A and B are shown apart, each in its own frame.
Chain A
Amino acid sequence: MKFSESWLRSFCNPSMTTDELAHALTMAGLEVEEVKPAAPPFTKIVVGEIVSREKHPNADRLSVCMVNVGSNSSAPLQIVCGAPNARAGIRVPCALVGAELPPGDDGKSFVIKQAKMRSVESNGMLCSARELGISESHEGLLELASDAPIGLNVREYMGLDDVVFEIKLTPNKADCLSVYGVAREVHAITGAPLAPSPSRNVQRTLNDVLPATVLAPDLCGRFAGRVIRGVNAKAATPAWMRERLERAGQRSISALVDISNYVMLELGRPSHIFDLDKVHGALEVRWAKKGETLKLLNGNTVELDDQVGVIADQNGVESLAGIMGGDSTAVDLETTRNVYVEAAFWHPAAIQGRSRRFNFSTDAGHRFERGVDWETIPQHIDYISALILEICGGEAGPIDDRTVNVPTRKAVTMRIARAQKVIGVAVSADEMSAIFTRLGLQHARDADKFTVTPPSYRFDIEIEEDLIEEIARIYGFDNIPALPPRARAAMRAQPTDRRSLHELRRAIAARDYFEVINYSFVDELWEKEVAGNANPIRLLNPIASQMAVMRSSLIPGLLANVAHNAKHRADRVRIFELGKVFMRDALANDGELGIAQVSQPLMLGGVAWGAVVAEQWGERERAVDFFDVKADVEALIPGLVCTKATHPLLHPGRSAKLSVDGQFAGWIGELHPEHLKRFDLDHAPVVFEVSASLAQLNKGAAFEAVAKTPLVRRDLALVVEQSVESDALIKQLNEAADPVIRAIDVFDVYRGANLPTDRKSVAIRVLMQDTERTLEDSEIDAAIKKLVSRAETAFGATLRT
């Protein structure tokens, strides 16, 4: 909310500087976001009257004016001027010789000097509003009122040494959505006296009443209005009002609209002024009916239903209750003569969310959603009426005031001890009482508690905590000590069977991967074509189409990161992300940490692209391959098993499903060549994605005595068909292994010369040991023989000689 400091100080004027006042408001919860001068700095610009205007002898567009600047000069000044509206008799701002004009874009101020313009002497400058920096309007000279005191400094005359405050109000501070409301706060914070709320009496000269009925008491609690006839809609808004409106960021529109806006800004009272002659029959206040439509003041037409409140006449809906008036009964500069001034109390619950539904917001709706005082409706209608009569003339009828269902203000109890416990400071009861008094809260003390009846303009005091907050706020958060925490000490330890996610991150980072963070929402095409997910979870309101669905895989995002870095000339990229992925899941239930129908597991994904080792002097360059990355993943997850499998993202011959103890853990593989182009890559990265919770598992250590007997090694070269997988071979051998065999591993695979093309030789290392005794050669040979014969029967393997 924006308003000028002078307006605020007209109600409550503490002896503080502007900055002190802004700070005090901020520290009371009314955050002052900006403090800006109402006008830029300038000097020696005074009210001048153009005494005469002659055409410039040497220039068509210029005129030569004689300007009376009062005591600033013994004789009228001759000033050359280019403004089209320069004419004798008007009073305008006149910059004297030596005046400094507001700084331009370069930050330098412009100094007025005595000059000759086309050989005519000019002793000053007549100014437009834009030249004074107070408006963008450049419609010639700024014409001041005809009674503006000649010679008076313009800053003083126009009150330009003012400051505009912009306050960011929290949704609970409905009572501060007006200058007077803020003044009440200033009074509460500073104790400076508060002027009474502005009010006027209205001379009633008509008996006309526009009949109105409230049909929906759950929508409207009080509805009041008054007929005023014979107004001059074209009357000019007075300068003081226009100035306050403009400084509040409200453009002046017409006197009637300005008055309504002015009172809303000053007192927080939204009102609506109907053109009485456009209203047909009596008004009724009700919920809209499905199918009704309304053309609003802003030109939009909205479709209504029974969730939206309206004011209607016999022709139909005329106004969106509490939000915006309709176009058909709007006041008009040219034709409006008679008006109906309406103000009402709309129940916040009946207004909340409605304007958001129609995708716009209004100042009135903003206030009614949060709550507007219902008690002062007649006084405020009087105030509005008085301003109309004063500015636009006319004659007023009586106020037709219908109270049907206004809130009751229940007394709220606050226990002194509870407040002290919550705040953590022993604020005294007397101090609490003084705070309530300054806040204008009626209260009574009964031994250890206060009973407070909130005023009708407060919508945020319903429970004890609301009062505790008020005490803390006005007592001052700064005055509450920052206590070092005191608590029972209890140890916490990470369970040994799970490592933390941070340990997991450190482990993968130690293998030369950098962590990235990608958005959880991605392009739908990625999901469908890259991740192979035909039915991703969609956002209803994405900010962009490439962020429209929830990802079910981390990989596409990582590939995009590779592409981004490749574009910036990186030739080797190794990155990982630890993040959730999201899938529809019919089996998922609501739970302590779960949401029905959605599975959102945490995954660890990685991509390695480019050389296996960064280019350097000591190592031959080689592109990273499946087995490099497999080693990285194995280092993370001991006991990981790869099973050949295909995935739409991956090269069908170079991809595998990962599992741990038979449980699916994720995928690894080289990117399918058909996706290279999508990500603008010239060669394929190797990617993996595994369940983070499986990767977090720590297999507990199982101690075994260290054998003192010698370890025996025998190597076997088994020639098998190319298609035999090493895991399958090892599995068979393990099954045939004697107990003395400790380990069977592949240490080489050979293809080529000396072997048929459909065969390969797999070199196998067999380690044997008995913890108790040294093995006999015969046992060793027998064990080996068993292995060879198993390989023979299972795979038709032969020993390579």
Chain B
Amino acid sequence: MNDRLEKHLRESAGFIDALLASAEQSDASALAIRRQAEVPESTQKFIAQFSTPLPPATQKLIDDFVESGTQLAQLTDSIIKTHFGSALLDFGLARDTAYLENAKAKYLGKAGAVTELLKGMAQLSPEEKKTRGAEINRAKDAIEVALKVRRESLAAQALNKQLAAESIDVTLPGRGRGVGGIHPVIKTWQRCEEIFGSIGFDVADGPEIEADWYNFTALNNPPNHPARSMQDTFYVDMNGTDGLPLLLRTHTSPMQVRYAKMHANDLSSKGTPIKVIAPGRTYRVDSDATHSPMFHQIEGLWIDENISFADLKGVYTDFLRRFFETDALQVRFRPSYFPFTEPSAEIDMKFDSGPLKGRWLEISGSGQVHPSVVKNFGLDPERFIGFAFGSGLERLTMLKHGIGDLRLFFEGDLRFLKQFA
């Protein structure tokens, strides 16, 4: 029974507040409500004392609230009902614990209204005592329920007030250090490693000051070969152990040779394929908006017993589509020439949307590794074949982001770098 009352009171906890708020338009109305509660008298009689009656709608709300409360508390005696009703209002009006405890004393204290009622039972017959006593006790219980509800509500209000006072502007920026970022070309590098790593490619890197043999001769490009003029080479003031000047590697292809030599035995004796990408810095004597004297390449190499040109087409086409995240990317292979591959292919790609849409864009050089190069790996070219490719990481990055000027990558300008954080 009191559960229902408690529920009713909880649900209407905001009722008195709302009432006061609506009555605040008129001081008199607010006062009227207050007075109503302060004096434990019959509501009607009490209201009659005031020149300013409550607006009938407000009065009705109060009456309904009290009425449903008394009904739930199963009170019938009009005096008891009145006391209970004014207790409800009085508790509702409590704005702090002190007021609430005072209000409590008015009803449940030593000289409180309910206590007085119990005292007044002395003259009653045992029969009447029983029914009236039960009614008074119901009223007492109900008042305690109302008190408990109000106490909780006041505690909640106090907490809310404190929390409100503690509230902050959550839209202000966070404090402390920010987070930096990784260079866009390196992000491309990383992405290439992830994509090729997903089908089991290892990653390797090696020297940037490189020996002539690894950069050229081992790749079937001996001194004075016309193909050497395809790449303008930086030389340093030191000679290798072969007496030829050391150079800055013009491509990542020397890593084909170094890595394959290191793993040739695994392939020929254990059948572990040579499957590697080698991203890194490369250098050529060239400098303008589309050429940088230093740039990044990624080399790929897959050597096994049966890796064909058709496999190269498959792997590289798949790579480009995964890299640019579109199956609509067109890829074409066209014959070309590199000393270290045969057949050799230049790879072009074409977007079907975006600003570069519809144009063939050169993206990579590739081909079946030349048998002389396979021999330089320390492998039998009769038994082992496979493909290699080399792509520019800057080029991939520029196409991915629509960057037009290569030089931006090497200026260290935060206004540029922060865009890729």
A residues whose Cβ falls under 8 Å from a Cβ of B: 26-29, 31, 170-173, 349, 352-353, 356, 369-370, 421-425, 463-466, 468-469, 472-473, 477-478, 480-490, 492, 502, 505-506, 508-521, 537-543, 547, 550, 557-558, 560-561, 564-565, 568, 570, 573-576, 578-580, 582, 584, 590, 592-598, 600, 612-614, 616-619
**A492 and B209 within 8 A (CB):** no
Whole-angstrom CA separation of A465 from B344 in the bound complex:
11
Chain B binding surface, main DSSP class: mixed
* Contact A465:B370 (CB < 8 A) given known A171-B226, A490-B200: yes
Name which of B156-164, B351-359, B411-419 contacts chain A.
B411-419
**B235 and A539 within 8 A (CB):** yes
Q: Number of A-B pairs whose CB atoms are under 8 Å?
A: 270
Given contacts A465-B343, A480-B309, A619-B176, 18 further A-B contacts (CB under 8 A): A170-B336, A170-B344, A421-B308, A424-B311, A485-B315, A490-B200, A492-B202, A509-B421, A514-B421, A515-B186, A515-B417, A516-B412, A517-B410, A541-B234, A561-B411, A565-B412, A595-B240, A598-B238
A-B CB contact pairs (8 Å), 7 listed? A484-B318, A485-B318, A516-B412, A565-B414, A570-B414, A593-B207, A614-B178
**B281 and A512 within 8 A (CB):** no
Does B7 belong to the interface (CB within 8 Å)? no
* Contact A582:B309 (CB < 8 A) given known A483-B314, A511-B180: no
Does B15 belong to the interface (CB within 8 Å)? no
Rounded to whole Å, the gap between the CB of A480 and the closest CB of chain B is 5
Does B332 belong to the interface (CB within 8 Å)? yes
Rounded to whole Å, the gap between the CB of B41 and the closest CB of chain A is 58
Does B109 belong to the interface (CB within 8 Å)? no
* Contact A31:B334 (CB < 8 A) given known A356-B229, A485-B311, A515-B182: yes
Rounded to whole Å, the gap between the CB of A21 and the closest CB of chain B is 15
Q: CB-defined interface of B283-310 with A at 8 Å, one 1/0 digit per residue?
A: 1010100000110000000101010111
Residues of A within 8 A of B385 (CB): 421-422
Whole-angstrom CA separation of A596 from B308 in the bound complex:
36
**A593 and B313 within 8 A (CB):** no
Closest 5 CB pairs of A and B: A424-B310, A424-B308, A29-B335, A170-B337, A561-B412
Rounded to whole Å, the gap between the CB of B18 and the closest CB of chain A is 38
Whole-angstrom CA separation of A143 from B414 in the bound complex:
61
Chain B residue with the shortest CB-CB distance to A482: B313
* Contact A617:B417 (CB < 8 A) given known A517-B185, A519-B293, A543-B285: no
* Contact A487:B200 (CB < 8 A) given known A505-B182, A596-B240: yes
Rounded to whole Å, the gap between the CB of B335 and the closest CB of chain A is 3
**A477 and B173 within 8 A (CB):** no
B residues whose Cβ falls under 8 Å from a Cβ of A: 172-173, 175-183, 185-186, 190, 193, 197, 199-200, 202, 206-211, 223-230, 234-238, 240-241, 245-246, 248, 258, 261-262, 272-273, 275, 281, 283, 285, 287, 293-294, 302, 304, 306, 308-311, 313-315, 317-318, 331-337, 342-346, 368, 370-371, 385, 409-415, 417-418, 421
Residues of A within 8 A of B241 (CB): 590, 596
**B293 and A543 within 8 A (CB):** yes
Rounded to whole Å, the gap between the CB of B413 and the closest CB of chain A is 6
Among B273, B281, B310, point to the contact of A487 (Cβ < 8 A): B273
* Contact A590:B237 (CB < 8 A) given known A26-B334, A520-B294: no
**B208 and A538 within 8 A (CB):** no
Among A489, A516, A596, A618, point to the contact of B200 (Cβ < 8 A): A489
**B414 and A573 within 8 A (CB):** yes
Rounded to whole Å, the gap between the CB of B24 and the closest CB of chain A is 38
Among A349, A558, A598, point to the contact of B224 (Cβ < 8 A): A349
**A518 and B412 within 8 A (CB):** yes
**B337 and A29 within 8 A (CB):** yes
**B209 and A519 within 8 A (CB):** no
**A171 and B337 within 8 A (CB):** yes
**B240 and A466 within 8 A (CB):** no
* Contact A617:B172 (CB < 8 A) given known A482-B314, A509-B179, A515-B182: yes
**A516 and B313 within 8 A (CB):** no
Q: Which residue, B248, B262, B315, B412, has most C-beta atoms of chain A within 10 A?
A: B412
**B309 and A424 within 8 A (CB):** yes
Chain A residue with the shortest CB-CB distance to B296: A517
**A515 and B177 within 8 A (CB):** no
* Contact A538:B293 (CB < 8 A) given known A356-B229, A469-B344, A564-B412: no
* Contact A516:B209 (CB < 8 A) given known A477-B335, A595-B240, A617-B173: no
* Contact A465:B371 (CB < 8 A) given known A540-B236, A595-B246: yes
Among B208, B287, B412, B417, point to the contact of A520 (Cβ < 8 A): B208
* Contact A574:B180 (CB < 8 A) given known A26-B334, A171-B337, A424-B308: yes
**A514 and B414 within 8 A (CB):** yes
Residues of A within 8 A of B332 (CB): 27, 477-478
Whole-angstrom CA separation of A590 from B242 in the bound complex:
11
Among B294, B308, B337, point to the contact of A173 (Cβ < 8 A): B337
**B181 and A485 within 8 A (CB):** no
Whole-angstrom CA separation of A487 from B176 in the bound complex:
50
Chain A residue with the shortest CB-CB distance to B385: A422
**A592 and B258 within 8 A (CB):** yes
Chain A residue with the shortest CB-CB distance to B315: A485
* Contact A484:B342 (CB < 8 A) given known A512-B178, A598-B238: no
Residues of A within 8 A of B190 (CB): 502
**A541 and B285 within 8 A (CB):** yes
Rounded to whole Å, the gap between the CB of B193 and the closest CB of chain A is 7
Whole-angstrom CA separation of A509 from B199 in the bound complex:
28
* Contact A468:B342 (CB < 8 A) given known A509-B180, A512-B180: yes
* Contact A593:B417 (CB < 8 A) given known A352-B224, A472-B335, A512-B179: no
Among B180, B210, B258, point to the contact of A514 (Cβ < 8 A): B180
Whole-angstrom CA separation of A173 from B338 in the bound complex:
12
Rounded to whole Å, the gap between the CB of B1 and the closest CB of chain A is 52
Among B172, B314, B411, point to the contact of A564 (Cβ < 8 A): B411
Rounded to whole Å, the gap between the CB of A600 and the closest CB of chain B is 6
Whole-angstrom CA separation of A486 from B310 in the bound complex:
11
Among A466, A469, A485, point to the contact of B314 (Cβ < 8 A): A485
* Contact A584:B180 (CB < 8 A) given known A421-B308, A514-B414, A619-B175: no
Among B237, B337, B412, point to the contact of A575 (Cβ < 8 A): B412
* Contact A422:B236 (CB < 8 A) given known A29-B336, A477-B345, A579-B281: no
Residues of B within 8 A of A578 (CB): 186
Whole-angstrom CA separation of A466 from B11 in the bound complex:
91
**A547 and B273 within 8 A (CB):** no
**B178 and A29 within 8 A (CB):** no
Whole-angstrom CA separation of A387 from B208 in the bound complex:
54
Residues of B within 8 A of A464 (CB): 371
Chain A residue with the shortest CB-CB distance to B283: A520
Residues of B within 8 A of A515 (CB): 180-183, 186, 417
Whole-angstrom CA separation of A172 from B344 in the bound complex:
11
Whole-angstrom CA separation of A540 from B342 in the bound complex:
33
Whole-angstrom CA separation of A515 from B180 in the bound complex:
8
Residues of B within 8 A of A353 (CB): 223-224, 228
**A472 and B343 within 8 A (CB):** yes
Chain B residue with the shortest CB-CB distance to A355: B229
Whole-angstrom CA separation of A425 from B181 in the bound complex:
46
Residues of B within 8 A of A484 (CB): 314, 318
* Contact A613:B180 (CB < 8 A) given known A469-B342, A492-B197: no
* Contact A568:B235 (CB < 8 A) given known A480-B313, A517-B185: no
Residues of A within 8 A of B411 (CB): 561, 564
Residues of A within 8 A of B344 (CB): 170, 469
**A481 and B310 within 8 A (CB):** yes
